[in-house]
Structure 1
Amino acid sequence: MFNYIMNKNRTLKRLLDILLSLAVIIFVLSWLLPLLVIIIKMESAGPGIFKQERSGRNNKPFWCYKFRSMRVNNSNAQAIKGDFRTTRMGAFMRRTSIDELPQFFNVLFGEMSIVGPRPHMLKHTEEYSLTVDQYMDRHFLRPGITGWAQVNGYRGEIRDHEQIIRRTEYDIWYIENWTITGDIRIIINTIVSVVKGDENAY
């Protein structure tokens, strides 16, 4: 019975992911993606879409997509407040989280979920796995565009070790207490946060 319920829940979560990602891709990205790519390329040389290898479910690497918000560079350092690499359009996209919208393609492809632990760069996964208890357990689920940690104030730059510990605690709590209604609440809270503005969005 337990396995049946778990499989049913996974199916419901995946169905929600497919329906919402298709809606965003068809009704928003179908016109916004080409428009933003043109604007991004006009402001600075380079591709309109940025891709970076991140750690996925079961720690399997995948290419995570974003609108490029920085000038092309060779640095893999995380973005910080006032980052000189960020373009003017990039700063706007990051404040409004528009830069994350291409990840709905990752969701449709089954590499991500709309809600789940945020995916980290491979080097950060390797680093945090050595110093944070249960860190690798957060890879039990598909990574998310948003998550329980993010709606509780832990998004963006990781400034100290305590922050990654707290984020991991929120991620593990989410995995252990997941429900469809919980996902819907997180999505709604994320939208509200984007509309109101998040001080950690930069």
Structure 2
Amino acid sequence: MLKKSLVVVLGMMLVVVAFTGCAKAPQPLVDSTKAAIDAAKAAEANRYLPAEYQAAQDSLNAALTEIETQNAKFALMRSYKKAQAKLNAATAQAVAVTEKVAARKEEVKAQAQQGLADLGTAITDAEKLWKKAPRGKESREVLEAIKADIEAVKAALPEITTTLEGGDFLTALEKVNAAKAKINSVVNELNEAIAKKGR
């Protein structure tokens, strides 16, 4: 009788330990963290703030790795506290980067608009210099190539403007910077040709 009672009590204790000791993976927290990171991506944080977005993604990946590590352990030995902390950090990072995206977009938009204005001025300067460039048999082909470069940059202006007005500020800025680099190269080449003529 005593043995039976002892077995029943031990059995009940094992059941209690099994139910209280078996930690479950924090799936709702994983889902909410993924949702926060998806929201950051939808706001284009991956493009406008790539380092901060990647930090949130890395925290999520570290948490998922920790969950896998815990899942591989014996049920009574599992603890998801580290994973929960990493998931909370990833969520906080994702929310923070999402909040910063709008300001970063405005900053990039302003840079693209200013760059577009500067580009227009640079094109005008290049055209003036092209008219002053020395003419001759040897320089004719070079000047034609330079004029073609100027025209190519001018032709890119409507596309850049459309991209900017379409809200893709980062691509517009990249295109503006590429066009500015091209026109600055042309201006330098023309200045060198004019300087040689003056010697």
With the length of structure 1 as denominator, give the TM-score of the two structures: 0.26
More strand by share: 1
More helix by share: 2
With the length of structure 2 as denominator, give the TM-score of the two structures: 0.26
